[in-house]
Amino acid sequence: MTTLRIAALLALAIPLPVIASAQSIAGVSNVAVRGTFVHFDHLYAERDLNGERVGIVHIYSEAPDYRFAIEPREGYTCVDDVARAIVLLAAGNPDPKRRRQIEMLTRFVLQMQADNGYFHNFLWGDGRINREYRTSLAELNWWSLRALWGLEAALPHLSPDTAKRARTAADRLVANLKRDLPPGRGTKTVEGLTVPTWLPLESGADAGSTALLGLLPHWQRTQDPTTRALIGRIGDGLVAMQAGDAQRFPHGAFLSWEIRWHAWGNAQAYALLRAGKLLGRPDFTASALREVDHFYPYLLRTGMRSAFALRRDGAGYKAYEAERFPQIAYGIAPMVLAATEAHRQTGQPRYRALAQRLGSWFTGSNPARRVMLDPATGRGYDGIIAPGRINPNAGAESTIEGLFAATALNGTPLP
């Protein structure tokens, strides 16, 4: 997450609809998570960029009137959220309006690709690409990996010319990943844990999961054996980042980076389920289901968590620097996606029930007792900052991640 997104979670809350009673909270898991695109369409706009008409989504939308804001070091729109939007819009069978948005948003992503094949992230309010700030450098980082997922998701819905450009851009990026990801299968020891160093950012299992979600459709399209091998290597790295089991904390959780777990972006189980099915890797599937079966119920029993670090403690693990807040849509949606994918692959009703319990966070079964995805507008609020308190802003990340969860719970898989 960007600096402003994290800082914004400390904003003072304003009143929003409260779930009426303890009885309604207990039964809220039966409330459907409904997704509508009214607020998404508020965030969407079209601009000229380098002589081409493109689509963007505004990153920040501030309560109470949901006007837009610009982060002074970064900008007002970014590849990270635009690529998310493409994935959302491409789910299912998009209508002509959504296909146009996919086309225009893809043009934005293409304009942000640098000469080195990676992507700059942010656009300034005056229309210049932010090429200087650390969260906008064209490098092997989250926004470039997200761009790959967005480009591959967009391809079936693009005009011929834009599709050709998107294929070329994605192929350049994948060639970079094959060249630049750490070679071999090295490891290091941190706080008594052995962690891999061949993932993005060395031990970035969270970023690795985003890489997989883009590489899987790329391999389906190209059937390139070196891409398949890269998927397998990243998947092996994610499995190596799993800790604990049914009895031992953290109950099969995939650590995010080195020895730290954080909820946001932790899509390892979801990515491994998809990779396991596509590549015929039952070990990936089993590893993913271990987290879904044991860690997700633990989080539900304990009121969810935001982050913790681990150190070895005898035969087990001990948590430190544990945090319960902030809780954000980007932390809940990956778990909903994994549970719905587990249900899709196994047919077991318990995974559907688990997905609904996780999704009830959006409908008010949460420490704030607030609806976090407004069913009338599709406005996703930016986070729970303490018991009974939320950040009522509704930016692109929270809105799109909430709609990811709603889309999955309504039976439509993401591309």
Question: Residue 29 above 90 pLDDT?
Answer: no
* Residues 288-347: tens digit of each pLDDT: 999 999 999 999 999 899 999 999 999 999 999 999 999 999 999 999 999 999 999 999
Q: 3-state class of 138 per DSSP?
A: coil
pLDDT at 32: 74
- Looking at per-residue pLDDT, the higher value among 326 and 34 belongs to 326
**CA 25 to chain centroid:** 26
pLDDT beyond 50 at 270 = yes
Q: What is the mean pLDDT of the chain?
A: 93
pLDDT higher than 90, residue 235: yes
**What average pLDDT does this structure show over 247-264?**
98
Q: How many residues does the chain have?
A: 415
pTM of the model: 0.93
pLDDT at res. 35: 79
Residue 33 is predicted with a pLDDT of 79
Q: Name the residue among 310, 81, 60 with its Cα closest to residue 191.
A: 310
Q: Could you identify the residue written with the tokens 């932010």?
A: 130
User: How large a percentage of the chain has pLDDT more than 70?
Assistant: 93
Section 13-38 average pLDDT: 49
Tens of pLDDT, residues 111-167: 999 999 999 999 999 999 999 999 999 999 999 999 999 999 999 999 999 999 999
Q: Which amino acid is at 13?
A: A
pLDDT band at residue 31 under the 50/70/90 scheme: low
CB count within 10 Å of CB 115 equals 6
Q: Is residue 280 very low, low, confident or very high in pLDDT (cuts 50, 70, 90)?
A: very high
How large a percentage of the chain has pLDDT more than 90?
91
Q: What are phi and psi of 313, to 5 degrees?
A: -140, 90
Pick the closest to residue 402 from 333, 353, 319, 323 (CA basis).
333
Give the span between the Cα atoms of 213 and 148, in whole angstroms. Answer: 8
- Summarised one tens digit per residue, pLDDT across range 164-192 is 999 999 999 999 999 999 989 999 999 99
Nearest to 33 by CA among 357, 413, 391, 367: 357
Q: How confident is the model at residue 272 (pLDDT cuts 50, 70, 90)?
A: very high
DSSP β-ladder status, 253-254 and 242-243: antiparallel
- The pLDDT of residue 18 is above 60: no
Nearest C-alpha neighbor of 366 from the set 405, 339, 326, 319: 326
Pair of tokens at residue 35: 């997704």
Quote the tokens at residue 364: 């008010």
Q: Annotate 337-370 with DSSP letters as a single string.
A: HHHHHHHHHH--HHHHHHHHHHHHHHHT-STT-B
